[in-house]
Homo-oligomer: A and B are copies of this chain.
């Protein structure tokens, strides 16, 4: 193995799984005698900071580019080029640990690639620790537990698998942490939208998708009180309408997900906003509808909207 330093990092706009998985995998590689440093490509969010503080771990160092520091890199929690470091084409990806689809990813040579269809990268990392017979410290267990809680919204998301739940159980024991109590506090730390501006909350976790002939935008925020957002509904809709106009979106949807009730309030504007009525079998009232039991954009929001838009 190379003794030159390798960098390990997750995606841009890092979430808790991306930050923690980079730290945790660096720990595993270091235990195996490899020269690896975890870094991050963006700001640490409030939820992630809560997790780092809880287990007294420093955030990874921020880097804008990776090629000036390393020839070889390891990706966690992502693989698609446009989600990675801006100069990813100038380095060699030697390993990937991920739980997403594979797209827009190509290497010149063989590599170690470990993807599994589970809810969280950390669930795969726990397997790797076991396979390598490596030591799992209390802090490392705490970070992996935090990742699983974050990605699964405390095991409520349909992306959460039995393996994720089982991994969280084992990790909670090592971390000496009550997963339910700690998890709710951590999610709440990241779900305070009252202090965010409208622009901030619309940018927090927003993704563009192509559906049929249209480009659409779907943002999501987690809250403990939907009033944090809905009290500013007209201001939010004005900003969404501006984005629709500027980018010619078919629609702009914002899912305000209540992490206590596991329902989402959907706000949707744009020419194709009515697609939501058919997709979720609801009636929009002033561009708004309650989506009961809907917490996952990937599994519960994007697919039904795509189906309607393709048919439309």
Interface residues, chain A, with chain B CB atoms under 8 Å away: 94, 99-118, 131
In the bound complex, residues from chain B placing their C-beta under 8 Å from that of A131 are 131
Contact B100 A110 (CB under 8 A): yes
Contact B106 A117 (CB under 8 A): no
Contact B110 A117 (CB under 8 A): yes
Q: List 26 A-B contacts (CB under 8 A).
A: A99-B110, A100-B110, A101-B106, A101-B107, A101-B108, A101-B110, A101-B111, A102-B105, A102-B106, A102-B107, A102-B111, A102-B113, A103-B107, A110-B115, A110-B116, A110-B117, A110-B118, A111-B115, A111-B117, A112-B115, A112-B116, A112-B117, A113-B114, A113-B115, A114-B115, A131-B131
Please judge, given known A-B contacts A114-B114, A116-B112, A117-B112, whether A106 and B103 are in contact too, CB under 8 Å: yes
A124–chain B nearest beta-carbon distance, Å: 10
In the bound complex, residues from chain B placing their C-beta under 8 Å from that of A112 are 115-117
In the assembled complex, the Cα of A104 lies from the Cα of B117 at a distance in Å of 20
In the assembled complex, the Cα of A107 lies from the Cα of B111 at a distance in Å of 18
**Most interface-central of A102, A104, A112, A114 (chain B CB within 10 A):** A102
Contact A117 B107 (CB under 8 A): no
Closest-by-CB residue of B relative to A113 is B115
In the assembled complex, the Cα of A113 lies from the Cα of B113 at a distance in Å of 7
Closest-by-CB residue of B relative to A109 is B101
In the assembled complex, the Cα of A106 lies from the Cα of B115 at a distance in Å of 13
In the assembled complex, the Cα of A131 lies from the Cα of B127 at a distance in Å of 10
In the bound complex, residues from chain B placing their C-beta under 8 Å from that of A115 are 110-114
A1–chain B nearest beta-carbon distance, Å: 11
In the bound complex, residues from chain B placing their C-beta under 8 Å from that of A106 are 101-104
> What 10 pairs between A and B have smallest CB-CB spacing?
A113-B115, A110-B117, A103-B106, A101-B107, A101-B109, A102-B107, A112-B116, A113-B113, A101-B110, A100-B110
In the assembled complex, the Cα of A99 lies from the Cα of B26 at a distance in Å of 23
In the assembled complex, the Cα of A131 lies from the Cα of B111 at a distance in Å of 20
Further 16 A-B residue pairs, CB within 8 A, beyond A105-B105, A110-B115, A113-B113: A101-B106, A101-B108, A101-B110, A102-B102, A102-B105, A102-B106, A102-B107, A102-B113, A104-B106, A110-B117, A110-B118, A111-B117, A112-B117, A113-B114, A113-B115, A114-B115
In the bound complex, residues from chain B placing their C-beta under 8 Å from that of A104 are 106
Closest-by-CB residue of B relative to A114 is B114
